[in-house]
Structure 1
Amino acid sequence: MDSIVSQIHSLAQSTGEAGRLEIQRALRQTQVELQSPIEVLFELVNSTLGVSVVRMSTDLGLFGILAKSSESLSVNKIAEASGASPDLLARILRYLASTNMIMEAGVNQYEANKTTHVFASEKGEAMVLHGFDFHAVIMRVMPDFFKETKYQDVTSNKYIPFHKAFNTNLSCFDWLIQHPEHFTPFQKAMTSIEGSEWTEGFDLLESEIKKLPSTAAQSSERTFLVDIGGGHGHQSIQLGQKYPNVLGRLVLQDLPTTVENLAIEGVKVEAYDFFQKQPLVGAKFYYLRRVLHDWPDNDATKILRNVAEAMSTDSRVLIDDTVLPDTEAVWQGTMADLALMISCGGKERTRRQWELLADAAGLRVEQIHSYVAATYTSIVVLALK
């Protein structure tokens, strides 16, 4: 058995992202085939319990306590640091170790493993809080919602499981802004997945960046990239750090409440609602990262039409989002699709769905640049018809 595990580890280290994903898929399938019927049912129950235990462990700071220690800690030591009863803590820690979230080092002795450090990070804690306090509440009412609506697909965000869960008429994003205890973890979780990896191997972008002068941008110069719905500008900042000559040629747009008092060197900040007419005409690129998947097709079409009306013939829309495959989608993509559906009425789209959406807005899909195999994250490049 040890030799088989060693071979799997060796294979994983010698392959790329797509290969690593295939190994995980094969191992999950093997596990399913090896499970007895009762084990399948127990795992289902455990999936709910596990989320609750992780949420409680986050409140107690258990992951952080273990992650900060360079050696294993006794139950009593962890109890002193967390304030929990040693007897209760012994049961919680035993469960966490049995599910590989922490590591058992001996009798009543525990230490951190890779998963512990993930949950102890700011990103991990934000994901736990957002997942349990927000998404889990919506998931709880999901069966009743679809029973009431006779199991129809969600095509509008006017009434979705989110509204039933939180008893509100507000949209998801308006509600989050009014509830900082939910909005703060949401913002941290979203910020943690920003990066410049989308530019890697993206020849269209790099070729256009090479054409830019290395001198300071002139006031009459064409805007290079408009970061629409870009929040606090993390993507613009990342792009400017990687390609300094784009600074002064970038514009960040988001709602007034988001960009109020926001200042980013080399980035012009504008208050803008993407359901309104796009004020920046003729930019080279209009960039939307994880924006359109938050909206049903009708709203996403309106957003794209506003961009299309501002484009020049050589302008391009860069949609940084998921492109689901037609078959054999991994669970991360299908999970995100359902989570978006019940929380904000959005969806993850296949290539065909992106093509239909673009066509409805007077655009066409020119190319798709995929850059994260595990989540099908891609740049969908749109041009005018």
Structure 2
Amino acid sequence: MSKTTVDLSLATRPSDADAVSGLIKDLDGLNQNWKEENEETRLKMVVKARSLLQSLLTPREQMVQHTWADPGLDAALITGVDVGLWKLMVKNGVDAVHKVDDLAKSLGMDPQLLGRLMRHVCAMGHLVEVAQDEYKLTNFTKSMSLDVIGDGYVCLLGGIGRSPFEFYKFLRETNWRNPVDAAHTAFHASYNSTVPNCMLYLGTIGMGPQMNHHMGGYRQGRLPWHHPKIYPVEKELFPGAEPDAPLVVDVAGGLGHDIDEFRRKYPNHPGKLILQDLAPVIEDAKDIDPSIERMPHDFLTEQPIKGARAYFMHSILHDWPDDVCQKILARLAEAMKPGYSKLLIFECVIPSTGAYWESTAGDMLMMTQLSACERTEDQWHSLIEGSGLGLKITKFWSSGLSAVENVIECELA
């Protein structure tokens, strides 16, 4: 007969002591063949190392980490970005020893406050302690000086961070149903906001640039959609492309990172490249090559470019529940030319088992902020082929790396 209660002593013992030895052996085995450029092995080592740490920590320690340490670390990191701490430390010497009193004076901060913040950042492994109130940067805190890294903390945690922590309240009020209403999300409930979604809300509170920086940071170190290891454009897209017609329409392409990188990778591409997004975003897309046409467009309205070789979307559909996605897809299907046009969707495809933590983290972010989701392969088939839009998936193109998006190639059925 199984027990109906858990003995309190369980919370003060290592979570899985029996697994420790095997995990160390697994890590050692992976390390034998690991080189820094071997990304798949690195990702496997991350998973094993995470499992090792969790096996060694007691449940009590994990509780304190989740409820005390991690929120405290976030508070210190966000403050550091906001006050300019990480940029100042890099400016004063990327590998120098930094004294709290000197930093506090330059920043106009109370040295006791700054010392407490930096002490916790150090205790969590992100600064190196040289002496009392003297620290050196790690590679992580060096990177916090970069807008594409640091600004993610300000906008996601400082700007809309209340939504995931109050998600349970939203679920309680919606009878614990899977959230699928883009007009009624945990964000709306947490911030009592009438702004259509959290991304637009960030713009209203002056954090639009920080969100754009975060999206740029999210893409760092990840293979672009047009990398030969993922989607061989010279084989699949260029043959048969009409030379003076639109080649790629980057729908809701933001500031143009993807389309401009594509142009640099394939400078002799046939056809035209077009970047589309809402007018305020297009106005800010100033750092892309002038050969790329910039076009204001709302993807819920009729697609003005007809018969392009490819319509491309990167991390767009995961922002929306199925009903909105179907409207977006319908506008594209109407514009596609049978037997010629392709729809290329560059997004996460969650496996049915063994999902990687970064994919599930994205799913939690979409769910708690937008009532949307990251999708499994079955869900992609259901969304694209089961909604009567006349589209079919021809192939999922993947590099094989668990932390990288797939290109979901679609055509008219």
Q: Aligned AA for 1:100?
A: G
The percentage of counterpart residues that share the same residue type is 24
Q: 8 Å contact 2:90–2:145 — kept in the other structure?
A: yes
Shift of 1:110: 0.5
- 2:188 & 2:204 partners in 1: Cα distance? 14
Q: Does 1:322 align with 2:340?
A: no
Which is worse superposed, 363-372 or 329-338?
A: 363-372
Q: Does 1:200 align with 2:227?
A: yes
Q: Does 1:226 align with 2:249?
A: yes
Unaligned residue ranges in structure 1 (runs of 5+): none
The residue number in structure 2 matching 1:365 is 393
The residue number in structure 2 matching 1:22 is 44
- 1:381 & 1:38 partners in 2: Cα distance? 47
Q: 8 Å contact 2:310–2:343 — kept in the other structure?
A: yes
| Alignment partner of 2:309 out of 284, 294, 303 | 284
1:143-183 C-alpha deviation (Å, 9 max, x unpaired): 11111111100111111111112212221167437515222
Shift of 1:61: 2.4
The residue number in structure 2 matching 1:83 is 108
The residue number in structure 1 matching 2:9 is none
Measured at CA, do residues 259 and 90 of structure 1 come closer, stay the same or move farther in structure 2, by a change above 3 Å? closer
Q: 8 Å contact 2:231–2:397 — kept in the other structure?
A: no
What is the number of equivalent residue pairs in this alignment?
A: 379
The residue number in structure 1 matching 2:74 is 51
| Alignment partner of 1:141 out of 162, 166, 169 | 166
Q: Aligned AA for 1:207?
A: K
The residue number in structure 2 matching 1:239 is 262
Q: 8 Å contact 1:322–1:376 — kept in the other structure?
A: yes
| Alignment partner of 1:270 out of 295, 310, 313 | 295
Q: Secondary structure at the match of 2:275?
A: strand
Q: Aligned AA for 1:373?
A: L
Unaligned residue ranges in structure 2 (runs of 5+): 1-23
| Alignment partner of 2:53 out of 8, 26, 31 | 31
Measured at CA, do residues 110 and 372 of structure 1 come closer, stay the same or move farther in structure 2, by a change above 3 Å? farther
| Alignment partner of 1:66 out of 76, 89, 114 | 89
- 2:370 & 2:112 partners in 1: Cα distance? 41
The residue number in structure 2 matching 1:164 is 189
Shift of 1:320: 0.9
- 2:53 & 2:199 partners in 1: Cα distance? 42
1:75-131 C-alpha deviation (Å, 9 max, x unpaired): 222222222222232222221111111111233321111111121111122111112
- 1:242 & 1:321 partners in 2: Cα distance? 20
**What's the RMSD between the two structures over aligned residues?**
2.7
Q: Aligned AA for 1:30?
A: L
- 1:174 & 1:128 partners in 2: Cα distance? 15
Q: Aligned AA for 2:344?
A: L
Task: Give the 5 Å matches for 1:86-105.
Answer: 86-105=111-130
| Alignment partner of 1:355 out of 381, 395, 401 | 381
Measured at CA, do residues 354 and 209 of structure 1 come closer, stay the same or move farther in structure 2, by a change above 3 Å? closer
1:30-87 C-alpha deviation (Å, 9 max, x unpaired): 1111112321221112122221121122233222233331321222222222222222
Measured at CA, do residues 260 and 92 of structure 1 come closer, stay the same or move farther in structure 2, by a change above 3 Å? closer
The residue number in structure 2 matching 1:384 is 412
- 1:328 & 1:377 partners in 2: Cα distance? 16
Question: TM-score, normalization: structure 2?
Answer: 0.84
- 1:194 & 1:163 partners in 2: Cα distance? 27
Which is worse superposed, 255-264 or 27-36?
A: 255-264
- 1:148 & 1:254 partners in 2: Cα distance? 34
Which is worse superposed, 339-348 or 283-292?
A: 339-348
The residue number in structure 1 matching 2:329 is 304
